[in-house]
Chains A and B, each alone.
Chain A
Amino acid sequence: MSGPVVDDPIAVKPIAGPGEIMEVSMGPHHPSTHGVFRMDVRLDGERVVRLKPVFGYLHRNHEKIAEHGAYLASIPYTDRLDYLCSMTNNWGYVLAVEKLAGIAVPERAEYIRVIVGELTRFQNHAGLIGFLLQDMGASGTPLMYAFREREKILDLFEALSGARMMCNYMRFGGVRVDCSAEWLDEVRQLVGRLPRFLDEFESLLRANEILMARTQGVGVLPRELAISAGVTGPLLRASGVNYDIRKVDKYGIYDRFDFRVPLGDHGDVYDRYMVRLLELREMLKILEQALRDIPEGPVMDPKTRLRGLRPKAGEAYGRIESPKGELGFFLISDGTGNPYRYRVRPPSMINLTILEDMCLGQNIADVVIILGSVDIVLGEVDR
């Protein structure tokens, strides 16, 4: 290129010639980024030689807002973190407050938490697999199948909490309202039908040749790097690390359920897809056991003060296995009615740390499915 150098930041850069590196800005408005997320990609031909994630477009300083409000006032805000999984966000937060203030939870409430938590995980994983296949070009069908079932789960959430997505359902010391026997029957009926959906959903594309060619050996995440980079959730287990917080911490009543933890061998995109498919089956096992054993009783600890909770000065870190990974809340109390420090450990953001490592040397088209297999929600990445 000859001619005068124009110092204009938005000037169109020339297309790279042979052997030159081209810089592409993928996003923030790109359908495959699942939100407002951008990647600065440098390409040698079609091969990725550098990739830097850029985010913060949805940043509203969630943590500062929560530090200005009472402990109770933050629960509806946590719905908006990972806006597909409001129930598990609530759970992570109330678990941290319960640790901070030493609050006990009645048995029935623990069972309801497990039921709504696993239903949340189910609709998240099914939806994610639908989106992942959509990114690979399986337009519509898998996603619509997943969303058909998700719709039924959201209807159940609406019947229970009044809202489909922003449920605001859990409270420290229990849950907001009890569920009816009819509601439990509806969940039982749904859980009875879901295995058939899974058979259908799996047989759609699991052994498809194109899917295998696109995903096997793509975006490999080695086991040691996954541990060092603090990757959690299905992404970690696909790399063969047996670490599920439901098994490790046994928070709530997870020690009572019999379920297995699916693990991958290669840590590629196909393993992440398969681990999620197998986890869907295990969730149904947990749901069946919880629906069988749920006792009668209160759903709120009567001694808990919801309004005007003032925990003793101290701190607590509580974490759960959210559908995306380890969702943690770190709270410091100074004895007043609002937290001195409120920190969210967002699994989506920390799982992005190794996005560049997974994409280096891959084709630009593979970046889309590697990002899709990480499973991010920008409401949680940016907070």
Chain B
Amino acid sequence: MALPSPEEIKTLLETGVPGLRVTVLANGSPSAQHSLLIDREHGCAAAEFLRDHAELRLDFCSNVTGVDWPDTETTEKVKVKKVVTGADGVEQEQEVEETRKTKVPGYLEAVYHLFSMTQKHGPVVVRMRTANRTDDTHLPSLTPVWRSAEFQEREAFDLFGIVFDGHPDLRRILMWDGFVDYPMRKDYVPPADDILITGVKA
């Protein structure tokens, strides 16, 4: 059975899960794997709907990973009217060009690639985004829906710092327990490798 298009899945999701907000994100590459951005409040309900829907049957969550999108700054030139005092002491209204910087807050993103083993179709790409990169990096864990997310969400927590609420065993998986930073973030600064620390400080 052919897989419904992302727009069709969006309508299915919106009718199936009340209150869910879905956005289709277009993909510019020739692969044409467009993705569905769902809000994190309804993440688990949407995942269960996708897994149990008779036509979709996305029972196989293949790939779970994080993506870091740091804060960005956009600069735009704006014409502003200003009162300027001229050389002769007369106040004049003039148009002055100013550059304005607006800070767009970044976020962390969890990407799920879903397939169906029974219907043999896929992928359906589902994304969820955190509020920011610093103090609210929570997302609902989809491990109760697909067991395969267990280790992969742990990895996204370990390397990106996404906190998956509802995960049964959220610990670091590749880095050691005492490690503090998140190495896969774009602003991660690796420690200087010309210093060799021997022994552990008390």
Asked whether, in the complex, the Cβ of B151 is within 8 Å of the Cβ of A349, the reply is yes
Tell me the count of chain A residues lying within 8 A, CB to CB, of chain B.
44
| A241 and chain B: residue at smallest CB distance | B117
Set of chain A residues within 8 Å of B148, measured between Cβ atoms: 228-231, 350, 353
| A100 and B113 form a contact (CB under 8 A) | no
Asked if B62 and A243 make an inter-chain contact with CB atoms under 8 angstroms apart, the answer reads no
Range of interface residues on chain B?
20 to 34
Given the known interface contacts A227-B59, A352-B151, the answer about A314 and B184 at a Cβ–Cβ threshold of 8 Å is no
**A326: which B residues are within 8 A, CB to CB?**
62
A382-B117 contact, Cβ under 8 Å, with A317-B123, A345-B63 = no
Kindly list chain B residues whose C-beta atoms are within 8 Å of the C-beta of A225: 147
- When each residue 132-164 of chain A gets 1 if its CB lies under 8 Å from chain B and 0 otherwise, what string results? 000000000000000000000000000000000
B107 contacts the other chain (CB 8 A) = no
A140–B125 CA distance with the chains assembled, in angstroms? 46
Do B31 and A314 touch (CB < 8 A)?
yes
Interface string of A8-31 (1 = CB under 8 A from B): 000000000000000000000000
Q: Given A317-B125, A350-B152, A230–B62 Cβ distance below 8 Å?
A: yes
Residue from B59, B61, B174 in contact with A59 in the complex, judged by beta carbons closer than 8 Å: B174
Across the two chains, which residue of chain B brings its CB closest to A341? B67
Task: Say yes or no: B173 contacts A230, CB within 8 Å.
Answer: no
Residues of B within 8 A of A (CB): 27-31, 33, 35, 59-63, 65, 67, 111, 113, 117, 120, 123, 125, 146-152, 159, 173-176, 183-184
Q: List 30 A-B contacts (CB under 8 A).
A: A55-B174, A59-B175, A61-B159, A61-B184, A64-B183, A99-B31, A100-B30, A101-B30, A228-B59, A230-B61, A230-B146, A230-B148, A241-B117, A243-B120, A248-B120, A312-B28, A314-B31, A315-B27, A315-B31, A315-B33, A316-B27, A317-B31, A328-B63, A330-B111, A332-B67, A341-B67, A343-B65, A345-B63, A345-B113, A352-B151
Residues of A within 8 A of B (CB): 55-56, 59, 61, 63-64, 99-102, 225, 227-232, 241, 243, 248, 311-319, 326, 328, 330, 332-333, 341, 343, 345, 349-350, 352-354, 382-383
